[in-house]
Amino acid sequence: MPILLDRQLREQIPHDAVTFPITFFSDELASLPDWAGPLHWHPDFEIASAECGVLDYQVGQQHIRLEPGDSIFVNGNMLHGIRQLSGDEPDPMPNIVFSGTLAAPETSVIYQKYILPVIGCGTLPFIVFRHDEPDHSEVLRLIGEIYAAFRKQDVCFEMTVQRNISRIFEYICRNFESLPRSEESRI
């Protein structure tokens, strides 16, 4: 599926913002010229993973190299793009784009206490989860379960997805002060 952008480079995400505000993508690189996605942004969060090739994930002015097994969490309203650097076939690069309201309604204490500080943090444009970091193994497992749930779509798959998104936010919030920070301009 091609990436649809408006004149301001905002990606048009096809999920229902009210009923289940998340979209799963896979194999997008195969449909993109030179296996590269253009710079774009959206107000939602994004998590993407390198499966078999090395990817260059650009967030703002920074280029982050993702090795197979690595994942990246991109905060909302960040200009970002992707390019595959290695491999003979396009990387499946599974990824999800989702609203913080997937974890909890905006009026809830959970959203106000845990989601909003992540959204509002100007020095947290992205978080990289490395496959060779023991502290990241649980988050990477949760991300993998989200992808698997979307692929299978068994009974209650939405609950699996929501639970795992909440657990990823729990990890981020528990480690909020120690996460690497950088300055990147938001859209």
- Could you list the pLDDT tens digit for every one of the 187 residues in the chain? 556 656 666 666 666 667 899 999 998 899 888 999 889 999 999 999 999 999 999 999 999 999 999 999 999 999 999 999 998 899 999 999 999 999 999 999 999 999 999 999 999 999 999 999 999 999 999 999 999 999 999 999 999 999 999 999 999 999 999 999 998 878 7
Q: What is the C-alpha to C-alpha distance for residues 62 and 163, in angstroms, rounded to an integer?
A: 31
Classify residue 39: in a domain, yes or no: yes
User: Dihedrals φ, ψ of 40, to 5°?
Assistant: -160, 175
* Count of the separate structural domains present in the chain: 1
Global pTM? 0.93
Report whether 118 contacts 171 (CB < 8 A). Answer: no
Classify residue 6: in a domain, yes or no: no
Classify residue 74: in a domain, yes or no: yes
- Give pLDDT tens digits for 1-21: 556 656 666 666 666 667 899
Classify residue 154: in a domain, yes or no: yes
Report whether 71 contacts 49 (CB < 8 A). Answer: yes
The kind and range of the H/E element at 143 are helix 137-152
CATH number, domain with residue 83: 2.60.120.280
Structural domain boundaries enclosing 33:
22-174
